[in-house]
A and B are shown apart, each in its own frame.
Chain A
Amino acid sequence: MKRLLVLAALIVLPGCKCKPAPVDPPARGPQPTEAWLKGELPPEANQGTPVSGGTLTVRVPSEPAGLNRLHDQMIDATMVRYLMGPVYETLAEVDRAALPENGQTPLLATSWEESADHLTLTVHLRKGVTFHDGGPFTSRDVRATVEAVRNVKNQTASLRSQFVDLASLSTPDDFTVVARWSKPYAYALHNFLTSLPMMSAASLQGDFDTLPVNRAPIGTGPFRFESWETGQKLTFVRAPQYWGTPAYLDRLVMRVVKDDTVATQLWEQGEFDLMTRIQPGVWRAIEAPVGANAWAIEGYHRISFLENNYSWIGWNEERPFFKDARVRRALAMLYPAAEVARHVDLGIELPTTCPWYRLSASCDPSVTPLPYDPAGAAALLDEAGWKVREGDGVREKDGVRFRFTFLANPHSVRLAKLVPLLVTELKRVGIEMDVEKVDSAIYLSRMRTHDFDAASLAWSTNEGVRDNYQVFHSSQRDGGSNYVGYASPEVDALLEKIRLTFDPAARVELEREVHRKLYADQVYLFLTNRPALDAAKTRVRGLSASLAWYDLRKVWLAPAAGDAGH
């Protein structure tokens, strides 16, 4: 027993330091500013004359399978942000000033023209651009990149889906590319210009899965790949031959730290200039104005911005329980939003009802979320024919007991917390929910084959505008992303019309209509938008946080005097 007591003391000791200060002196230690609490960069973070030099160390929460942005397995969202711009460049890039609307600013293309029927796109390429291996950038490389995507032998299905209607691609000269489409599509121009990282024709020769550039990318951007220590870090250095304004930083280091707890501790020891994906619990814990938090409050700017993502719980509409929209509405009314917000999300995630970007016009502000109302939900379930059976108290209809299985991804911390809450709420009204834990691989394959009752996912993209055709159109049930098997002729018609509507304002009206219908049908139990929670050392300057992530080309480091040092 004595040994155990010693043990207890040892555990308590380090733990104590981080507990919020006792009551008497209310606030001892550094006070966080308003901007810091909100996660906004203060004005001084972008002032001063940029200086060249230094290394920026960024925490990366996952290691990509490879660095070939075209490959399905290497496309994952975090990596896109790291490479697009700094290493790989597209013909045009998303206009950051216009966000969240679609807009393009020239990059490897200097200009482009679209025909009036939206079927022909002529692109004029920038001259004098060279790849990191010294080769010149010409229309041959554009053709090779597009062909690599269109080649059905390559694992490029996710990008290829954007180019199925591309009828032909011609290259009249070294610096002109003409793309012809077989039918008009509202996002065709944007996708063609901004989603394809230009790779050199030479680097795409050979077996697509094992190209050398999958491990050591060759692009045209201001940073050039230097090394990749598997499981540890990726290093990029300033590229001397860059055609545009050179980057300020000498070196970019992406340190792979998957475990959030370890990442937090490394961050606290000052290992990262830019810390990403801070856990909500940590985000809140470092707000207390105590000495133990000085390192964060004084040494870092907190950065929080809204990304284009939303999480949802999907009810498989092929199952007898979930066919009826009234049942789905009842389930939404059983979701303990306030409790989740307080204890799981700690007030950080924002409840949503909308499949579009929160800050865009496409979400109809008049849609109000269903309230948490167990009594109302019970009434709705009765109305839909799911009556409580005598005896075991489980609802039943036509001899089917209301008992289903929730497919849970064991790697999601948030789900691990949310699911038990849901089990309790549903049990109270006579619905039994079992939980089955499967890893990501099985999880997705079961969603794609509609082999689930209920499951939860988050959709995310780096763009402000998204075409929800793949997600909600009834034709996308097989092969697409309509995992819940939603089928509504009205929504189908609207989604088709959106794809042919080139006027943004008209599109917004249609999208609002879709939003209203989807929420009324409760196609998903819409959960929340998750803001990015990051932090940068105070000496990091020129960070502009936006939907399109940070522009690392413009980042510079203030001379060491301003360094909070750790």
Chain B
Amino acid sequence: MSPWRRFRADRRARVGLRVLVGLLAAAVLADVLASELPLFCRVGGVTYVLPCLTEPAALRGLSRQALKASAELYVPTPIPFGPDETFAGTKARFTPAPWSPDDEHLLGTDELGRDVAARLVHGARVSLWVGLSSVALNLVLGLWLGLLAAWRGGVVDAVVSRLIEVLTTVPTLFLLLTLIGLWRVQGLWALTLVLGLTRWGELARLARAQGLQLVRQDFVAASRALGAGTGRIIARHLVPNVLGPVLVSAAFAVAAAILVESALSFLGLGVAPPTATWGELLTQAHRTLTHPGAWWLALFPGACIALTVGSLHLVGEGLRRSLDPAA
């Protein structure tokens, strides 16, 4: 049975993968799922398709009520609020925000009356983006450096090994705290880059260990004898053969990166406001913990993080089992 077959036969891995795909879809489609602008509308005879994506200039500056009133056809997004829309809604409310969940805001609002559901959907983008792309960078760096070390040995190996040791010894959050706190790191890209450049040690260690076993095997020696260059050997022979176990590790690394991102956000070192992130909602939850006790600000983002990390784990475990059925 091929690993993929085994993976598909694994019930828990399947569940994990489905949840993950769902979350990814939510992140990609965030603008269609939650926006101040509708999915479709017809105003003054002009039909707008997906104005929530295109944001046509003609609809700019119109409030939702005005648009709704003047539209002949109006199909709102499933969550009819944008992530940055403050004090959204038509209900008369007499207490200051945060407002608890009701029929208008199903998951409640934050301190600025922004819809929690809308912010969660858009926050998924940040979490998944940071998690996936920083680990992609980790993977590229880790695989190349790890395999290069394994292949070349000698000085290259010594240097890379020390580098790995340095990166895995310095406590992660301390390094990130210093980097992000002292440097002006706050954009999505910058954060991704920082995580991508600092967290590849474990993957490189694994790639190197796997590579060392391969290097001793005949087919690699044969290709060397045939005069293949280092890059070619690594890319053609080593990478495909170590990718499996490294990918398993990468799945867990994505989960860890998402946890780190949310922790940084919680410490006030995440992506700058007003960008919606899960960690930022949890910061608000901490602030309003007992007064007025906005439990919905703690529960839902916490659940989102747990769901993402949990599903990544199921996928990682599934990968591990399908690659190594003996374990």
Contacts and interface: CB of A to CB of B under 8 A. Distances in A.
A438 B185 CA distance: 9
A15 B84 contact: no
A16 B292 CA distance: 9
A284 B287 contact: no
Task: Give the 8 A-B residue pairs with the shortest CB-CB distance, closest first.
Answer: A285-B291, A15-B295, A420-B274, A15-B293, A437-B272, A282-B291, A18-B293, A410-B268
Contacts of B111: 343, 417
Nearest to A413: B287
A interface, size bucket: 35 or more
Contacts of A438: 184, 186
B22 interface: no
Nearest to B298: A11
Given A15-B294, A19-B292, A285-B292, 18 more contacts: A11-B295, A11-B298, A12-B295, A18-B291, A19-B293, A264-B290, A265-B289, A281-B292, A344-B112, A392-B57, A393-B57, A393-B60, A408-B272, A410-B269, A419-B273, A420-B114, A423-B84, A424-B85
A187 to B, nearest CB: 38
Contacts of A279: 287, 291
B240 interface: no
Contact of B291 (A286, A429, A442): A286
For the complex, would chain A's binding face be called helix, strand, loop or mixed by DSSP majority? helix
B293 A343 contact: no
B170 interface: no
A261 interface: yes
Nearest to B61: A428
Interface in A1-38: 4, 7-8, 11-12, 14-20
Given A284-B96, A391-B57, A424 B84 contact: yes
B40 interface: no
B175 interface: no
B68 interface: no
B62 to A, nearest CB: 10
Contact-size category for B: 35 or more
15 contacts: A8-B299, A12-B295, A15-B295, A261-B287, A265-B290, A279-B291, A284-B96, A393-B57, A411-B268, A420-B86, A423-B84, A429-B61, A435-B272, A437-B186, A438-B186
A439 B303 CA distance: 30
Interface in B265-289: 268-269, 272-274, 286-289
Interface string A421-451: 1011000110000011111001000000000
Nearest to A280: B96
Contact of A260 (B61, B87, B112, B287): B287
A521 to B, nearest CB: 29
A343 B96 CA distance: 5
B78 interface: no
Contacts of B186: 436-438
Interface in B227-286: 268-269, 272-274, 286
A14 B291 contact: no
B153 interface: no
A98 interface: no
B24 to A, nearest CB: 20
Interface of B: 57, 60-61, 84-87, 95-97, 111-114, 181, 184, 186, 268-269, 272-274, 286-295, 298-299, 303
A451 B298 CA distance: 37
Contacts of A12: 295
Contact of A342 (B85, B96, B287): B96
Contacts of B269: 410
B245 to A, nearest CB: 30
Given A339-B87, A424-B86, A14 B293 contact: yes
B327 to A, nearest CB: 26
Contacts of B268: 410-411
Contacts of B299: 7-8, 11
A264 B273 contact: no
Contacts of A268: 290
B43 to A, nearest CB: 16
A421 B291 contact: no
A261 B286 contact: yes
A435 B85 CA distance: 16
A346 interface: yes
A307 to B, nearest CB: 23
Contacts of B294: 15
Nearest to B306: A4
A51 interface: no
Contacts of B286: 261
A416 interface: yes
A120 to B, nearest CB: 50
B273 A420 contact: yes
B84 A343 contact: no
Contacts of B293: 14-19
Nearest to B286: A261
A442 B185 CA distance: 12
Nearest to A13: B295
Interface in A242-264: 260-261, 264
A20 B292 CA distance: 8
A304 B303 CA distance: 39
B56 to A, nearest CB: 10
A346 to B, nearest CB: 6
Given A15-B293, A264-B290, A343 B273 contact: no
